[in-house]
Structure 1
Amino acid sequence: MSSHVTAQEMAAYVDGGTGVDFWALEVHLEKCAGCRDDLAKAAAPSLDPLLSGAHTAIRAQVATGPAPVPRRRVRVLAQRWTVWSLMPWTLTTAVALVAATVLDQAFPLRPSLVLLLAPVAPLSGLAAAWSARADPAWETISGTARFGLELLLGRTLVVLATVVAFLGLTGLYLGRSPVMWLLPCLAFTSATLLLGGFVGVERAALGLGLGWLAVVVAPALVTAQLPVLVGGSSAALIWGLTALGLGAAALLRASDHQQSRGQ
């Protein structure tokens, strides 16, 4: 079809009648914006009854249907700040801390696994909370106004609250000072947020976790000696300053998370 669609051909196409080459007409419509505009005008009158009927049906359903079910505030906050996909990672962290507590209790002369694992305990949850593969609603969430640093900080607080609760129970049971596991935990969380703005939170959590296990945890288990960085008298001051510095740097570089969406 070299010329534009005539009024008769357009009417036949809209009505689904005969006497027109539908395939050739549709090929022409794909290339001709003017004819597409004419098609929209020609189809508008025939669509009015359909749209009007749909509008009436929807209004009737709204008027006679059940009232909206109010959602409880606790449930709304839970859905806003966390996702159910975090549950497996939370259970994994809990099982790891329970196993570490049992081993610490059974082998008191060996290096404390609770203190060794405390710094990296929240990292798996952070990776899952900001992973496109772990969140089934990622595509929907990524298009919302809250996507970015605000959502990341909210989920980070949920992960930290969960991990700190488990560490608090295990530390209380073993008689460990909260400072020795809380400050390293905060330092690694801040480091993950800071590096996550450049390489993605998932990659940052994986790199920091594997690095800590290879450089600190594995040698401690081999030598049967707790590193000074974990159990020394000056460790608390070092971890406190580190957590403060990394936290401030993460806040100063907060805009990096807006630029690295979806990493």
Structure 2
Amino acid sequence: MSTQHPEVLALELYTAGDPGLDDAEVWSIEAHLETCEQCRQQQTGILARVDPSGADLLARVADGLDLQIAAGPPPAPAPARFAVRQRWAAWSLAPWTGMALGVLAAAWLLSRVSPGETSMVLLLAPVLPLLPVAGSWSRYADPAWELLAGSPRVGLWMLLRRTLAVLLVIIPALLLVSFMIGLAPALWLLPCLGLTLSTLALSEKLGVTNAAVGIWALWTVGVLLPSFWSADVPPVLSSSATPVWGALCLIAAAVVAIRARGYARL
């Protein structure tokens, strides 16, 4: 939620119901008005100039609601843990995260069975987070998708929070398995972050699930399948590719920041 006050002109257009405001700006103003008394009073003054009769009606409705609220029982606050869970994760992410951890366990077993070949943990680590990320914002995977899609706080920040929640589960598991098989985390950590950020960058145009599935498919064709024919570490996962992955992370993060408003329409 933004703490920056909307511009006076934007607030005037919103109060007048001007169709020129895009959905993202309307939702941003609505979310801000929920918590900013100063802007609500400013909006009341704007309404008094634009439509005096509407301002009078609004004042009478507000007075009536104040009396009813004062006469009724105090509202019961929602548990903080519920708000945190809804913003940072969803129950629909559990199967996807479990699937990613299951794939990681299978890759670890294969590394133990065939220790001389290129580790499957290394090959799969960069794309493992994409499984739960694909389910972090999907109308098919999240039962509350329509409710969240219509809320004013939906958009990039919710997607980033849920992606971070995924990484906080997957990356420690990858670190543990890497330590168990003697694999250097530096080889897969930047590719993992690079592909995750690339998924978020493409999500604004393609959708989260389509972007994640597309990158997984490209990785399978370009890296996984060729690795079955060669015992060498793929060039994209060698130490010499680290600057390229670092640049990809920066570019993808910049695209996400520049296109932040578009994520309200995922």
Query: How high is the TM-score relative to the length of structure 2?
Result: 0.69
- State the Cα distance separating 1:78 from its structure 2 match: 1.9
Q: 1:153 to 1:67 in 2, by over 3 A?
A: closer
Aligned to 1:257: 263
| Alignment gaps of 5+ in structure 2 | 1-67
Q: For 1:186, what is the secondary structure of its paired residue?
A: helix
- 1:235 matched to 2:241? The reply is yes
Identical positions, percent: 40
Structure 2 letter corresponding to 1:240 = G
Q: Tell whether the 8 Å contact from 1:115 to 1:180 is kept in structure 2 after alignment.
A: yes
User: Which of residues 86, 92, 98 is equivalent to 1:79?
Assistant: 86
Q: Tell whether the 8 Å contact from 1:123 to 1:205 is kept in structure 2 after alignment.
A: yes
Aligned to 1:207: 214
The CA distance in 2 between the partners of 1:70 and 1:190, in whole Å, is 33
Equivalent pairs, count: 199
- 1:139 matched to 2:161? The reply is no
Return the index of the structure with the highest Cα Rg: 1
The CA distance in 2 between the partners of 1:76 and 1:148, in whole Å, is 16
Aligned to 1:129: 136
Q: For 1:187, what is the secondary structure of its paired residue?
A: helix
Structure 1 letter corresponding to 2:246 = G
The CA distance in 2 between the partners of 1:249 and 1:144, in whole Å, is 24
Q: State which drifts further: 233-242 or 135-144.
A: 233-242
Q: Tell whether the 8 Å contact from 2:187 to 2:239 is kept in structure 1 after alignment.
A: no
- State the Cα distance separating 1:59 from its structure 2 match: 10
| Alignment gaps of 5+ in structure 1 | 1-55
Q: Tell whether the 8 Å contact from 1:187 to 1:247 is kept in structure 2 after alignment.
A: no
Q: In the TM superposition, what are the counterparts of 1:3-82 in structure 2 within 5 Å?
A: 68=76, 71=79, 73-82=80-89
Q: For 1:135, what is the secondary structure of its paired residue?
A: coil
The CA distance in 1 between the partners of 2:141 and 2:78, in whole Å, is 28
Query: Structure 1 stretches (4+) deviating beyond 6 angstroms?
Result: none
Q: State which drifts further: 171-180 or 194-203.
A: 171-180
Aligned to 1:150: 157
User: Which of residues 90, 99, 103 is equivalent to 1:92?
Assistant: 99
Query: How high is the TM-score relative to the length of structure 1?
Result: 0.70
The CA distance in 1 between the partners of 2:211 and 2:75, in whole Å, is 46
Structure 2 letter corresponding to 1:250 = V
Summarize deviations over 1:176-201 as a string: whole Å, max 9, x none.
22221210111001111111111111
Aligned to 1:191: 198
